[in-house]
Structure 1
């Protein structure tokens, strides 16, 4: 997926946090440990460094939601993160993003903290972020 397509889909999916620009996607994709996973109607941008993975953003076209795309991307993120040596993962999600929080909960992510006023809404108000974590380390026999 080209950065233009990433920015366009991100714009269709987000107001809070604000949609990322083509330039921001280009910069993130060049950053150490970054990786992109995509499907026809969605993508996930992650990063894995020093034993930890971060899910930077997950976007699924609003017209294609509730078809398993997000779940498949999350499963691919777990596999890609483990392959890059990550033993744990984290993400932030806006407290008012009920659908995303339900998806993360259903796929094993656990709430581990709150970042007060982390996001800015289009009206200028602040929105808390919930920090979620997921263990990735395989149990040793």
Structure 2
């Protein structure tokens, strides 16, 4: 029987072999290097929040957030192809948005490949809206669509109503 409960936990350096396999499979044209991922983990938890999604004892996805001040950025999110459309991406995105709000972000930004309509649709379901276009952003020359989700004012900011 296949375990269906998704467990999210903080990413550690021990997860890098599995994460890098997913990274290279999911983003063959512009995968991050292991050194880049290690650099991201080095800033955790100060300005970064990285999590893995496990089913059983297998890492099937991961996601990362950068947060500073009132802004957060989805750095990356990936799920193994055979586990997509099973709630893993939703669980990861919910975790990132919860953490962004916990850290006081009022807006969350991301870039998505212009040639990836399924990812764009997922982000729109989460309330992200298109902001702009970064021409030839990816290694292979593909454009990136920038998107933003407004989380609302920080507690205690001017304009907050009591």
Scaled by the length of structure 1, the TM-score of the pair is: 0.89
Counterpart residue number, 1:43 = 62
Consecutive aligned runs of 4 or more in structure 1 exceeding 4 Å deviation: 138-141
CA displacement at 1:137 relative to structure 2: 2.2
Give SS of 1:127's match.
coil
CA displacement at 1:127 relative to structure 2: 1.0
Q: Is the 8 A contact 1:6 1:25 kept in 2?
A: no
Aligned-residue CA RMSD in angstroms?
Answer: 1.5
Whole-angstrom CA distance in 1 between matches of 2:161 and 2:149: 17
Indicate yes or no: 2:42 matched with 1:30: yes
Aligned residues: 136
Gaps in structure 1 of 5+ consecutive residues: none
**Cα offsets for 1:95-131 (capped at 9, x unmatched):** 001111111111111000001111122xxxx111000
Whole-angstrom CA distance in 2 between matches of 1:128 and 1:140: 40
Match of 1:19 among 31, 35, 40: 31
Larger gyration radius, structure 1 or structure 2? 2
Counterpart residue number, 1:8 = 21
Indicate yes or no: 2:116 matched with 1:97: yes
Match of 2:75 among 43, 56, 67: 56
Q: Is the 8 A contact 1:95 1:129 kept in 2?
A: yes
Gaps in structure 2 of 5+ consecutive residues: 1-10, 55-59, 154-159
Structure 1 residues 93 and 80, CA, compared in 2 at 3 Å: closer, same or farther?
same
Give SS of 1:19's match.
coil
Counterpart residue number, 1:117 = 136
